[in-house]
Amino acid sequence: MASSTDSARAREAAIEIVRTLRDAGHIAYFAGGCVRDELLGLEPTDYDIATDATPDRIRSLFPRTAAVGAAFGVILVRIGRIVVEVATFRADGPYTDRRRPDAVTFSDPVADAQRRDFTVNALFIDPSADEAHRIIDHVGGIADLRRRTIRAVGDPDQRLAEDHLRALRAVRLASRLDFTIDPHTAAAIRRHTLDLNGVSRERIGEELRKMLLHHSRARAITTLQQLGLDAPVLGEAAADPPVQLAARLPEELPGPAAFALVLAAWVLDRGLVLDSPAVPETVARLRAGLCLSNQERDDLAAILGGLLALVSKWGSMSVAQRKRAASAAWYPPTRELLRARSPEVASAVERVVGELARTPSGLAPEPVLTGDDLVAAGYKPGPAFRQALETVYDAQLEGRVTDRAGALELARGLGI
């Protein structure tokens, strides 16, 4: 999230661009999400500008630009280190690929507002105007902001047919802002749920990441299920179980495995049994269906496996096994999931981990014996090396070995 200083600098850069365009005889407004956020008293992360200046005209007025979407009227303008998207007012043609318009026609503010997705995203602000004329609303967006409602611009079926991912964006926006989705728009989303099957799985995965990594994740999951979007997103039958584990996770999630952690909570809420063959099947399905990275896939599998270990195997683990578990990369996210699932079990595990951390060797000491040590002692590397080092390290974790000499003596007795 942008800091107050970053947001202020972005706004100053956007005002400078608006001023330059207006001085050159053009209309120029703040547009889209930054307008919505300003009117809600939030700090926009970036600013977009809409103008009647054509892409060529924009590029002629600013020395540092990049044409990332000139065919759609979009130019990036750099002011210092700030990059602002400047787009020409346009009306969109048909969306035959259900993602982008086949062609656009440069137009006026009314047509530009009417081609946008949701009314609260179709407002303009004229930063140079007085308060009475500052907000430009052609689609009823101000009323929807006051009602805290996400409503499609115009015909919701048409808006969703143009870009099937808009259904997920409606859920993300409503959950983040704690808005409701207009009943007509919600009904259209339900009619179009299966359309998501034709959307790139990568795009669906990215949209889901944005939802689940935000502290409003429980609202987002609930809304996805209520609208039937869980089926095409997760690749399984639609269901609407209570969102419990995901709702109990902390707002700030630990580390890079945060997305995998929320996915794990969600599939457990939906009835996944930890010690069943469905676990690897579920991980594989989500890997393909959400375009998870290899690391995300491994994190998801490790968290689910780690939770099973903490719930059903912790009591029978040796000291070394417990220390290895508590030092594993999966432990911090799995601990959060265990806290959400079984607070008393989590407290018991954490109490033991705290005691183990206070032992002389701690949880994860540097090994007193390495492979180089064994080679220096005259042993030839081979298959038994790794097992011997693991056994010696376990003895170190349990306090049975405390120095290199004792470690070498144990290794010699292992027959390497």
SS (H, E, C) the chain: CCCHHHHHHHHHHHHHHHHHHHHCCCCEEEECHHHHHHHCCCCCCCCEEEECCCHHHHHHHCCCEEEEEHHHCEEEEEECCEEEEEEECEEECCCCCCCCCCCEEECCHHHHHHCCCEHHHCCEECCCCCHHHCEECCCCHHHHHHHCEECECCCHHHHHHHCCCHHHHHHHHHHHHCCEECHHHHHHHHHCHHHHHHCCHHHHHHHHHHHHCCCCHHHHHHHHHHCCCHHHHHCCCCCCCCCCHHHHCCCCCCCCCHHHHHHHHHHHHCCCCCCCCHHHHHHHHHHHHCCCCHHHHHHHHHHHHHHHHHHHHHHHCCHHHHHHHHHCCCHHHHHHHHHHHCHHHHHHHHHHHHHHHCCCCCCCCCCCCCHHHHHHCCCCCCHHHHHHHHHHHHHHHCCCCCCHHHHHHHHHCCCC
pLDDT of residue 97: 59
How confident is the model at residue 96, as a pLDDT?
67
What pLDDT does residue 71 have? 76
**The pLDDT of residue 185:** 98
**Tokens of residue 50, six digits:** 């809409």
CATH number of 148-240: 1.10.3090.10
Q: How far apart are CA 65 and CA 85, in angstroms?
A: 10
| pLDDT, averaged in runs of 10, over the chain (416 residues) | 78 96 97 96 93 95 88 91 94 67 83 96 93 91 98 96 94 98 98 92 96 97 98 95 97 91 98 96 96 97 98 96 97 97 97 97 95 90 88 96 94 84
In the chain, the amino acid numbered 328 is: A
Please state the domain extents for the chain.
1-144, 148-240, 241-363, 371-412
- pTM score, two decimals? 0.90
Do the domains spanning 1-144 and 148-240 agree at the CATH topology level? no
Which residue type is seen at 214?
Answer: H
CATH entry, 1-144, from 3.30.460.10, 3.30.300.30, 1.10.3720.10, 3.40.50.720: 3.30.460.10
Tokens of 58: 């924009």
Residue type at 379 in one-letter notation: Y
What pLDDT is recorded for position 383? 81
394, two tokens:
């376990």
Residue 98: per-residue pLDDT: 58
**Separation CA 154–CA 114 (nearest Å):** 7
